[in-house]
Amino acid sequence: MRVGRILIYLFLIFFIFIWMMPLVSLILTSLKSEQQILYLPFWSFPQKVYFIENVLLAIETGNLGRAFINTIFYSLSSACVGVFLASMIAYPVAKMNFKGKNFIFYLALIGTFLPFQMYLLPHVYILRIFKLYDTWIGLWLVYTAIVIPFATLVIRNYMLTIPDSIIDAAKLDGCSYLGIYGRIMLPLSVPALTVAFLFQFIWVWNDMIFGLVLTANPSTRPLMTQLAMLKGGYITSFGAMAAGSIISIFIPIVVILVFQEKFIQGFRAPM
Amino acid sequence: MEKDEGNMEKSISIFLLLPFIFLSIFLLIPIGFTVVLSFCSWWGYGPITFVGLDNFIKIFTIERFQRALINNLLWIIGVIFVPMFFGLILAYILLDVKGKRIFTAALWIPYAISPVALGYIFYFVFDPKIGLINSTLEILGLGFLKRAWLSSWPLNTFSLIIGSWWNRFAFSTIVYLAGMTTISRDIIDAAKTDGCVGFHQLRKIIFPLLRPFTAIILAWSVLYSFQDNFGFIYVTTEGGPFRSSEVIGISMYLEGFMSSNMGIASALAFLSTIITLTAAIIILSRSKGG
């Protein structure tokens, strides 16, 4: 039994060692200059570290500073507003009885089950019609709409667990539906709202394809799209690509590590 | 009571109005438009002409689309089974381990990394000259195994799929771990006293109980191989060389946004939706019944 335990730990440590390799290689690459990347052995630690230079090069060639600010705006605000809108679908669908309730629910969910490609192309024309192509508001509207379906699923399933007796008591006290929603359902659903917000925050942060298609210049583009542009740019630098990747994945990693439990709840939520 | 009914209907429409304006403009109408366009020929301007099943016939007969379809099927298979199998085993091992938090933290990291950054990471891993794999093989004295991992088919698709395992493996392990914490300890202990341990216990008792979680992994993996690998492939190979590592998502982008061939692009999107939905329906009906 003892030996078995030790073997399991040895296996896990070996596994984590291999597991972290890709990340370690990314970090090593970000520390080296182009010369060092080409001529030093791969696993060697450079004598002079060029991390700051690489970060600055990435920020300069990819316009990552502006893109970083854009992405903070996009991910915070569309996740917030999208989750709020989703809760407005979730409440009637979970707690009121009306005709076509399930139809409404599935209609709201449809975006979760279809690949993005299914609505990507028309977005360009819709945004052009409203003169919103290549603007902050245009991309923000699209992100907000895409946030709604999954958030609706998470929040509705949570609201189902809130006992009806609370709502009935409020009704007897003369509380309107709007009052029940604002004073009872929203405050009680905070755990689900948080889960939905976190998932969608990470999703918007990590998205690249909508930024690629719906915006055309660095002042509106989100971070991941600009990061992807580094490779095709006129200065191709491995160090800059690695350093740019590190600064752009930093926040999602911290958020996910801090809120692990919330994300696990999110995986249980669809049931 | 009647007054209450009318009141309720009014409130419901107030609640649903704003969210459904968003959903209609940015999801429902676009989805309908894509379905219609997939049976039409359109170059982004001028008239839209109905061409029936022409676009789909082209997808199945033109070589580069056939290649994308084959690659996409490889992606679906590759992204589902191996990560699921090892994810289940790893989650089972981690269930009883002290210091579980450290290990799960390490697992979460690739899950948090965006497809684009994953693309750069595996670009460095697979690079023939300066990459992780080839340099490590050299050090280990296995230089004869060195390959240009991303420059010929089918090796490039296999390499990319294996690269994506880093992220997929994390996903399935985490979902299974979440599932295993919902199984009551009594069931596992009862199985233990009956002499049902290890792999046998995993197969006979835990795996059947995790059925809904398996369904989630399956459904999201199919969706992943159509939408989320886009950024990853875009950065590593851009679908190349000579469109050999392309998947439907990349073909759709090239047709729709580079060649303005909206009909084919929509048909590609519609095709991937049909496959995803069929898979989702089969998976969900299986996981509910029996």
Radius of gyration from C-alpha coordinates of chain A? 23
Using a CB–CB cutoff of 8 Å, tell me whether B223 touches chain A: yes
What percent of chain B is predicted at pLDDT more than 90?
Answer: 45
Segment A117-139 shows an average pLDDT of: 92
pLDDT in tens, A6-37: 888 888 889 888 899 999 989 988 998 888 88
In chain A, which residues have their Cβ closer than 8 Å to the Cβ of B14? 178
Q: Which fold has domain B54-288?
A: MetI-like fold (1.10.3720)
B31: closest CA among A109, A32, A236, A117? A117
Write down the pTM of the prediction: 0.91
Q: What is the mean pLDDT of chain A?
A: 89
Interface touch B121/A86, C-beta < 8 Å: no
Interface touch B20/A89, C-beta < 8 Å: yes
Per-residue pLDDT for A3 more than 90? no
**What pLDDT, on the 0 to 100 scale, is given for residue B127?**
87
Per-residue pLDDT for A119 more than 70? yes
**What pLDDT, on the 0 to 100 scale, is given for residue B4?**
65
**What pLDDT, on the 0 to 100 scale, is given for residue A2?**
75
In chain B, which residues have their Cβ closer than 8 Å to the Cβ of A268? 178-179, 182
**What pLDDT, on the 0 to 100 scale, is given for residue A91?**
92
pLDDT in tens, B116-163: 999 999 998 998 888 888 888 888 888 788 888 888 888 899 999 999
pLDDT in tens, A129-152: 999 999 999 999 999 999 999 999
Per-residue pLDDT for B186 more than 60? yes
CA distances from A108 to A80, A147, A152 (A): 18, 11, 7
Could you give the ipTM of this predicted complex?
A: 0.90
**What pLDDT, on the 0 to 100 scale, is given for residue B45?**
83
In chain A, which residues have their Cβ closer than 8 Å to the Cβ of B263? none
**Residues A192-230 as b or e (16 or more Cβ within 10 Å = b):** bbbbbbbbbbbbbbbbbbbbbbbbeebebbbbbbbbbbb
What percent of chain A is predicted at pLDDT more than 70?
Answer: 98
Segment A183-191 shows an average pLDDT of: 91
What percent of chain A is predicted at pLDDT more than 90?
Answer: 52
Window 89-148 of A: residues touching B by CB (8 A cutoff) are 89, 91-92, 96, 98, 104, 107-108, 110-111, 113-124, 126, 141-142, 144-146, 148
At A70, the pLDDT band (50, 70, 90 cuts) reads: very high
Using a CB–CB cutoff of 8 Å, tell me whether A31 touches chain B: no
pLDDT in tens, B43-62: 888 888 899 899 999 999 99
Q: Which residues contact A47 (CB under 8 A, 6 or more apart)?
A: none
Q: Which residues contact A231 (CB under 8 A, 6 or more apart)?
A: A241, B120, B123, B235
pLDDT in tens, B18-43: 999 999 999 999 999 999 999 999 98
At A232, the pLDDT band (50, 70, 90 cuts) reads: confident
